[in-house]
Amino acid sequence: MVNRNLIRSLEDDDILADLALMAPEDEVEEWMIENFAAEQQDYNSGNIVEGRIVEINDEWALVDVGFKSEGTVGLDEWGPEEETPKVGDVVKVLIEEMEDELGAADDPYGMISLSKRKAEKIIEWEEMMETVAEGQVVTGTVIRKIKGGLLVDIGVNVFLPGSQVDIRRPGDIGDFIGRVVQAEVLKIDDTRRNIVISRRSLIERQREEDRTYLMQELEVGQIRTGIVKNIADFGAFVDLGGIDGLLHITDMAWERIGHPTEMVSIDQEIEVKVLHIDREKQKIALGLKQKDRNPWENIEGKYPVESRHPGEVVNVMSYGAFVKLEPGIEGLVHISEMSWTKRVNHPSELVNIGDNIEVMILGVDPEGQQLSLGMKQTLKNPWDDVLEKYPESKDVTGKVRNLTNYGAFIELEEGIDGLLHVSDMSWTRKIAHPSEVLEKGQEIECRILSVDEQRRRIALGLKQLDNDPWDGDIPDKYQPGQLVKGEVTKITNFGVFIGLEDGLEGLLHVSELADHKVEDPEEVVKVGDSIEVKVLRVDTDERKIGLSLKRVGWSEEQEKSAAAAEAAESGVPATLDEGSLKGGLGSAGPLFPTGDDS
């Protein structure tokens, strides 16, 4: 191996000439040129120099860079796309480390450490710096995904942060691998040989230019093509080419839709109509359905009131069902318009989504774009025949459907109820609540008292099935002056009620309890006591019977004397019988005379 350092130390032309004799003439010149170039190279660490491959083995190539010793370059620094290195090839390498007073360089075969790959990177960087500046637009291929963003090859590898990939960050930035992208140079760090680029800033700048141009030429009523960029529950945002417009869900179709995804999808290209422009706020309202004819035009002519039409149930709510008559035309069947007879608690009891039914048009609101529909109107109303089926005085059988404080509702047939009022349950009993007589689900026979077809009401009676005992039976059975037995059923501050027979009660006034003044009736009798009392009077108009306890043992003379005293006290005319009985029902005066009628 030639010691070039020794040769450099010799400045004698004769020696150089002698050396030239050692090689053929054509090689001496080449050697001299190389030797001169080597003289010009800077051999400090971090510099790039040219060298010639002088030896190759399985792992490395020995490169002579004209220094006092050679250096090695690993064969793995030649890429698969490069030609295989061979002896004599000239390569540019980076001097990574040199021998100094601290020791030899980190190279087992030489005194200097070399790198071909790093030299190429530095050369690429320096060439790139001659053509690239901050703010410049560059084009490159995305080569791989790294932490925080993407690596893009623009001649050198540069960093594209994930936040700068697009205006809206993609779900997976890895989808950009292999794509050619344009971006703006944000920052150049020459020390670290690092470049940061932004595709987003380039898009935003372009969109701002497009937005300005678009707002100038955009007009209400125009048909525009756009790309669906985002979808929300209330609508979709459509990119018109620099500015987004809102396509509200209510402007997507004339018919009802549940969600915008039923009509559009992300990245779909659609034609829309410009409905409104707010140039100050740069907001645009778009419509899809407005491109087609409004089906509500001439709605009153197409669907006149009382006309019948087939339809499909498209939605069921607690208050009714929505029925589609044609695309874009829907109406509401209120729950009250579903059946003449059935008591509908929820529309789902009669219809379900997808059912095909017939409806009648009840009302049309063209401005509000609303139709009022009816289902029951397509069927015969059973109340039309109620007078014929349920005439007054007819005895009918029904089932107790419901009990209220004032009576019971009796179902005569499905949807046809009659009211049995509490006052029409018994001739004699004072019924406080229908549950004292009836129970829910019980079948009973009643009589039709009256029918109000217009108000759809039927009045029923239970007691009317029997004759009124107050018309003869009770007055015949209970005569004034008669002694009867009964049971104390209730005690009040004004007197005591005595049960005489099933449901029939008489009033024992507090003044008729004893000869002395009674402050508390319970001092004399208790509920449940069986006592004998005297009938004082029977009032068929008021349906009341007056009783007395203190007069049970009175003689006829005592009765006459008491009657006369009471007559004189109350100023009753002398035409009344002296033997008349009074009391029992308060101060109403005598009703039925006792004793002689002469």
- pLDDT, tens only, 457-481: 899 998 888 777 777 777 778 888 8
Please give the CATH number for the structural domain made up of 298-374.
2.40.50.140
The more confident residue out of 210 and 127 is 210
Q: Residue 270 is encoded by which pair of tokens? A: 């659609």
DSSP letter for 426, please: -
Least confident of 245-254, 288-297, 471-480, 534-543: 471-480
Dist CA 494 CA 488 (whole Å): 14
Q: Where are the domains of the chain?
A: 47-100+110-122, 132-203, 218-287, 298-374, 385-461, 475-552
Residue 430 has pLDDT above 50, yes or no: yes
Q: Assess whether pLDDT exceeds 60 at residue 427.
A: yes
For 147, which DSSP code? T
Percent of the chain with pLDDT over 70: 83
- Confidence check: pLDDT of 308 > 90: yes
Q: What is the pLDDT of residues 384-426, one digit of tens each?
A: 778 888 888 889 999 999 899 999 998 888 778 899 998 888 8
Mean pLDDT of 514-533: 84
pLDDT of residue 6: 41
Would the pLDDT of 590 be above 60? no
Nearest to 176, CA basis, from 194, 202, 149: 149
* Residue carrying structure tokens 């048909």: 223
Ramachandran quadrant class, 591 (left: phi over 0; alpha: psi -120 to 50; beta: rest) = alpha
Q: What's the whole-number mean pLDDT along residues 54-59?
A: 84
Of 28, 29, 38, the closest CA to residue 8 belongs to 38
Query: Over the Cα atoms of the chain, what is R_g?
Result: 57
Torsion of CA 163, 167, 168, 173, to 10 degrees: -50
Provide the pairing of β-strand 356-365 with 395-403. unpaired
pLDDT-derived band at 324 (thresholds 50, 70, 90) equals very high
Note the pLDDT tens digit of each residue in 75-106.
877 878 878 888 888 888 778 776 654 444 55
Mean pLDDT of 287-308: 89
25-39 average pLDDT score: 47
For the segment 520-530, the average pLDDT, to the nearest whole number, is 85
H/E element, 559: helix 556-570
- Poorest-pLDDT segment among 104-118, 485-499, 529-543, 574-588: 574-588
Three-class secondary structure of residue 530 per DSSP: strand
Q: Is the confidence at residue 577, as pLDDT, over 50?
A: no
If we measure between CA atoms, which residue out of 491, 418, 515 comes closest to residue 457?
A: 418
What count of other Cβ atoms lies within 10 Å of the Cβ of residue 6? 9
For position 2, what pLDDT does the model report? 42
Q: What does the angle CA 16 – CA 22 – CA 27 come to, to the nearest 5 degrees?
A: 85
CATH entry, 475-552, from 2.20.25.240, 3.40.50.2300, 2.40.50.140, 3.100.10.20:
2.40.50.140
Q: Give the highest mean pLDDT range of 57-71, 310-324, 422-436.
A: 310-324
Is the model more confident about 116 or about 411? 411
- Please count the other Cβ atoms lying within 10 Å of the Cβ belonging to residue 495: 22
For the segment 541-553, the average pLDDT, to the nearest whole number, is 84
- 556/360 Cα distance (integer angstroms): 80
Q: Are strands 180-189 and 137-146 parallel, antiparallel or unpaired?
A: antiparallel
Instruction: Identify the band that residue 204 occupies on the pLDDT scale cut at 50, 70 and 90.
Output: confident
Q: Give the rounded percent of residues in the chain with a pLDDT score beyond 90.
A: 22
Which residue type is seen at 65?
V
Report how far apart, in Å, the C-alpha atoms of 125 and of each of 94, 130, 158, 279 are.
14, 9, 11, 47
Q: What does the alpha-carbon distance between residue 359 and residue 321 come to, in Å, rounded to a whole number? A: 11
Q: What is the rounded CA–CA span in Å between residue 220 and residue 283?
A: 12
Residues with Cβ within 8 Å of 369's Cβ and at least 6 positions away in sequence, in order, are 296, 299
Tokens linked to 125? 């960087």
Class of the domain covering 218-287 = mainly beta
Phi, then psi, of 92 in degrees rounded to 5 = -95, 130
Question: Does pTM top 0.75 for this prediction?
Answer: no
Check: CB of residue 179 under 8 Å from CB of residue 191: no
CATH number for region 132-203:
2.40.50.140
Judge whether 513 and 524 are in contact, CB under 8 Å: yes
Residue 228: closest CA among 203, 212, 245, 206? 245
The answer to whether the 385-461 and 475-552 domains have the same CATH topology is: yes
Q: Cβ of 352: how many Cβ atoms within 10 Å?
A: 11
Domain 47-100+110-122 maps to which CATH number in 3.40.1260.10, 2.40.50.140, 3.40.50.300, 2.150.10.10?
A: 2.40.50.140
Q: In Å, how far are 250, 284, 368, 526 from 275, measured between CA atoms?
A: 13, 8, 19, 87
Return the closest-CA partner of residue 384 out of 414, 340, 441, 318: 340
Q: Which CATH superfamily is domain 385-461 in?
A: Nucleic acid-binding proteins (2.40.50.140)
